[in-house]
Amino acid sequence: MYAVVDIAGHQFKVTEKTKYYVPKLNEKVDSKITFNDVLMVSDDKKTNFGAPFVKGAKVSAKILEHLKDDKVIVFKKKRRTGYQKSNGHRQQLTRIEITKIALTKEIKATKDTKEVKTTLDTKVVKEPKAAEKTKIAEAKVETKETK
């Protein structure tokens, strides 16, 4: 089972019992956190997509540590002018472990009924016939000439 989750503005494809580096979260180490912004949940049989989020789906995680990423150096230089500038930063990260991906049974039942409703509510839009198209085109031409 896997899910696509929105964590701190970034989307991650997560599976249970795996560890990920995410942008820094404002929680303490060894605390548990749940993410409700689940965009998609999939198991072996079925895939549920959200619009924009899947209702009732939750991803639980445990915060393992806070750390900094490797240093990124930004170096700027312009030729023949003597201009050189060096900057750098280290991105703040949080390491988490996904403990559980939960999807309630109610969601599965309502998902089936929504699919049935959408197939019944579809509207068929017919294109106008060739004679109607020419009438529409003539009306457009007449309005342009009158202006």
* Domain residue limits, the chain: 2-104
Q: Does 60 or 141 have the greater pLDDT score?
A: 60
| Interatomic CA distance for residues 125 and 33, integer angstroms | 47
Which tokens is 58 given? 């939750």
Query: How many angstroms separate the first and last alpha carbons of the chain?
Result: 63
Each residue's pLDDT tens digit, 37-67? 999 999 888 888 988 899 889 999 999 999 9
Give the dihedral sign, CA 106/107/110/116. negative
Query: At which residue do the structure tokens 């390491």 appear?
Result: 95
pLDDT on residue 51 = 87
